[in-house]
Structure 1
Amino acid sequence: MKQFENLEDAQTLALAIVDTIPEPFLVLDDSFSVMAASRSFYECFKVDAAQTRGRSLFALGDGQWDIPALRHLIATIIPGQPAMEGFEVEHDFPAIGRKVMLLNARTVTYAGKDTANILLAFQDVTLRRQIEQEKAALNAQTEHLLAQQRILFQEMQHRVANSLQIIASILTLKAGSVTSEETRHHLEDARERVMSVAAVQTHLNASEGIDRIEVGAYLVKLGSGLSASMIGEGRPIVLDVVTDESIIASADAISLGLIVTELVINAIKYAFPTPRPDARILVQYEVQGSDWSLTVSDNGVCDAARIRCAMAELPGRTDRP
């Protein structure tokens, strides 16, 4: 490697390198006076070269760089370690306004000498921080709106559940007061339809989250509710639910719950016209790849009456957790 013929050539090259650095850049001596500055430093901070070189960093621009955080960095932190990266300084500069700067500093020592230089690079992250703050504010606002939406949704669901219970009670009273068997049958059938919707709605609300729920826990709760409301002590029917650990969208769960409720009610009403000790209704849900199947079967007079649903019949896909 060819050596420089004299010290001036080395200094000329060093100054040229500093001047071509795109980010604001300073070279300080061990007393924190500016030995060299990049062109981008002058352009970024609107300062004059003649009023910069040879002056203390903290005296530049009528003291605009006399920032406590920066003074602490240079006077205290840097002497204890050779480099410092990402030190953030926020300051209101007279000529350019408020800026947020990331400072990278490095101490350069020389063999056999007590003196040292400090290299100081500046990165303007004002716009980045502004975008981050706006994004954080927007996220906070969105979370607030979502929280309000959840409260309104829960209140609406509560009102819907109460309304369905009231409708079912009215239908029960009407069914008990009419003399026509046909009318009573229609009223009881309407009550069961309302109760099926109420059961789906109640157990869907009981699931954690609104967007996606676990099929197994949802169908087990739904089955328990149907057993409690539809199967009396005089009709010992066992309702079993067998599922895997699949998770589906709540919109799909509504359709799934309505299908299961309708089939279970039909099995309770028609599969066991006379009590039998081994009466059993089985609800099965399983996933194979991108397909799933739902089976509702019984061992009554309509033995193995079942339904299988293809993926195309309900929107969305079923995903395993």
Structure 2
Amino acid sequence: MINPLQGIAEAQTLAQAIVNTIHEPLLVLDGELRVMAASRAFYETFKVDEAHTRGALLYDLGDGQWDIPALRLLLETIIPERAAMDDFEVSHDFPGVGQRTMLLNARKVVYETSPDHTILLAFTDITARRGLEQELAALLTRTEALLEQKQILLQEMEHRVANSLQIIASILMLKARGVTSPETRDHLRDAHQRVMSVAAVQSHLHAVEGIGEVGVGPYLTKLCEGLGRSMIAEDRPIALAVTADDGRMSSGQAVSVGLIVTELVINAVKYAFPAGRDGALVRVVYESRGENWKLTVADNGIGKTPGLATASVGEVTGGLGTVIVQALVKQLDARLEVVSDDGGMTVTVERASF
């Protein structure tokens, strides 16, 4: 059994030993706020010596460096009412130490056998932490400013790209109207549609605030609406229908898919219904599952149309449209399949498998 301490001297020795083992600055104050004891960390941190600290009034320490209004508020107002206070922040320029930000923890100790009381006052130096927080806040402010500048530049670039694409498309259409060769006119109009398909992606990205992914359904719907308005004449009614799930893909992939759809729709509208037909229909279907997807463009025309109808998978044959489609399919790491018969032609571009 451990014997109780004999006398006040032993108790004081133990108390001082306990105080000295604490790594953070600690003061023990009496009811009049005079220093009864201080930890070794206190002396080392604030560059004071024991002879001028013990027995001195707290506010007189170090030529009055502890006569801080915030500390007076803590010790003379808050502690008498609450008996304890945690994380009371004080910033002060201490002589010989410099500007420091401290968290003060205070406890009022009341004794059963005496009307006197003691106050334990512990200090945690958070100067470095606050400095880091200020640096992070400043960095965040600068980052937000840079992001705002980047957004402004992106918006300006989007406007410039959109204007450039419109100018190119307009020039192609003007050239198409001015040439006398039907073949050259068709090539210019096809080029116009290809430019417009890229413009549709750019416009869609701008509408959704330039995010890196595109909703495929809305994009293909908008693209095909534009193709229908520019290619399908009133005297050749051809329905152009789009069915797509809620899949998404990167803007780069969307450009490639949009160009593929443009080529296939151009091919179907130009060649699938040479004599006109009631119920003429071109269907664009997009299905996705995770990173895998399948695009189908089908028509109910005559079936044997130029280009893709005679092209083998992975083989670069046919006209420019065929070369473009096969190159884009390869770029997307997808597989091309063409089925053509008297009931029409179906072109499938599939990435991976369902």
- With normalisation by structure 1, the TM-score equals 0.87
Q: Is the 8 A contact 2:176 2:189 kept in 1?
A: yes
Partner of 1:70: 71
Structure 2: stretches of 5+ with no match in the other structure? 302-343
Deviations 1:162-198 (A, max 9, x none): 1111111111111111111121122112111111111
- Check if 1:303 corresponds to 2:305: no
3-state DSSP of counterpart to 1:156? helix
Partner of 1:242: 244
Amino acid at match of 1:237: A
Could you say if the C-alpha distance between residues 2 and 32 of structure 1 is closer, same or farther in structure 2, counting changes exceeding 3 Å?
Answer: same
3-state DSSP of counterpart to 1:295? strand
Q: Which has the larger radius of gyration?
A: 2
Deviation at 1:277, TM superposition (A): 3.2
Q: Distance in 2 between matches of 1:96 and 1:29?
A: 26
Partner of 1:314: none
3-state DSSP of counterpart to 1:103? strand
Q: How many residues align?
A: 308
Q: Is the 8 A contact 2:213 2:250 kept in 1?
A: yes
Report matched runs for 1:18-29 at 5 Å: 18-29=19-30
Structure 1: stretches of 5+ with no match in the other structure? 312-321
Amino acid at match of 1:32: L
Report matched runs for 1:38-77 at 5 Å: 38-77=39-78
Q: Is the 8 A contact 1:204 1:218 kept in 2?
A: no
Could you say if the C-alpha distance between residues 79 and 243 of structure 1 is closer, same or farther in structure 2, counting changes exceeding 3 Å?
Answer: same
Deviations 1:98-143 (A, max 9, x none): 1111111112111143221111111111111111111111111111
Partner of 2:192: 191
3-state DSSP of counterpart to 2:52? coil
Q: Is the 8 A contact 1:284 1:294 kept in 2?
A: yes
Could you say if the C-alpha distance between residues 141 and 10 of structure 1 is closer, same or farther in structure 2, counting changes exceeding 3 Å?
Answer: same
Partner of 1:169: 170
- Check if 1:286 corresponds to 2:288: yes
Question: Larger deviation: 106-115 or 250-259?
Answer: 250-259
Q: Distance in 1 between matches of 2:211 and 2:90?
A: 43
Could you say if the C-alpha distance between residues 196 and 247 of structure 1 is closer, same or farther in structure 2, counting changes exceeding 3 Å?
Answer: closer
Q: Distance in 2 between matches of 1:158 and 1:270?
A: 36
Percent identity between the aligned chains?
55
Partner of 1:80: 81
Deviation at 1:35, TM superposition (A): 0.9
Partner of 1:105: 106
CA RMSD, Structure 1 to Structure 2 (Å): 2.4
Q: Is the 8 A contact 1:203 1:222 kept in 2?
A: no
Q: Is the 8 A contact 2:194 2:262 kept in 1?
A: no
Q: Distance in 2 between matches of 1:211 and 1:309?
A: 20
Report runs of 4+ in structure 1 exceeding 6 Å deviation. none
Amino acid at match of 2:189: E
Deviations 1:59-100 (A, max 9, x none): 211111111111111211122223221111111112111111
Deviation at 1:248, TM superposition (A): 4.2
Deviation at 1:159, TM superposition (A): 0.9
